Amino acid sequence: MNRLFENTGNSSFMEFAGSYVRELPPRRDEMPVTPMGDRLPHATTIIAATYDGGVVMAGDRRATSGNVISQRDMEKVFRTDDYSCMGIAGTASTGIEMARLYRVELEHYEKMEGRTLSVAGKANRLASMIRGNLAMAMQGLVVVPLFVAYDPDKDEGRIFGYDVAGGPYERDRFDAIGSGSIFARGSLKKLYRDGASADEMVMTLIQALYDAADDDSATGGPDVTRKIWPIVSVIDADGFRKLTDQQVAGYVAEMLDARLISPDGPIAPLR
């Protein structure tokens, strides 16, 4: 075995791979780009919110190419390690690649150092990967993730948002990205409650995603006929868990039943 792989001397998988074979992974500032505009599939709305002891992330399933629905069942929320996950908005292929590389980056660090990164360290590692995509972003291949993690030191969930140059920016209580984010965030402002349980927060995010789909054509609502449901993941002291389709379908059915009576959803009390 090549001794290069026995002791890399570097806890970053990205830097190790680049030093061994320059083209793996490719340097984005050296990749030729043909402007594609809206022809490439784009991921849309991702939302996240903290609750008492953890954090929930949810995403719709629609991908669009301009005014065309290019995929109805795309997954946009990815587990990155046992206590974190990220959702992507923007150019779908770039975002999926970034999520996969980031997961390997965290695994490589843990193997090399014998410990996991802190939550802030994880957020900063992702920021450096986003910064590495800046040249591509300036040419239209933009991807902006949302990162969430459970922090065992604080016994709470944390949320980090980014811009195309990296960031990161820690968000308080909740955040949303993507084309429907303005509507989802407005819904969360009214529905979010401090001290909510995980079950209550999952329903809150289901409601917010539905509100986003109600006003944003690029955001897909639950597809009852095809049985395509939002992706919902919960992270707490027990680790990451993704809700099953059957579990999410139960929340959606409860939400839709209530909206037959009140189409605009629950009304936030003024007092």
List the catalytic residues. 44
In order of 27, 44, 68, 155, the CA distances from 55 in angstroms are 34, 20, 33, 11
Instruction: Considering only CA atoms, give the Rg of the chain.
Output: 19
Report the alpha-carbon distance of residue 249 to residue 227 in Å, rounded.
8
Residue carrying structure tokens 């949810």: 58
- The number of helix segments (H) and strand segments (E) in the chain equals 7, 13
In order of 108, 117, 219, 251, 268, the CA distances from 81 in angstroms are 11, 10, 27, 26, 35
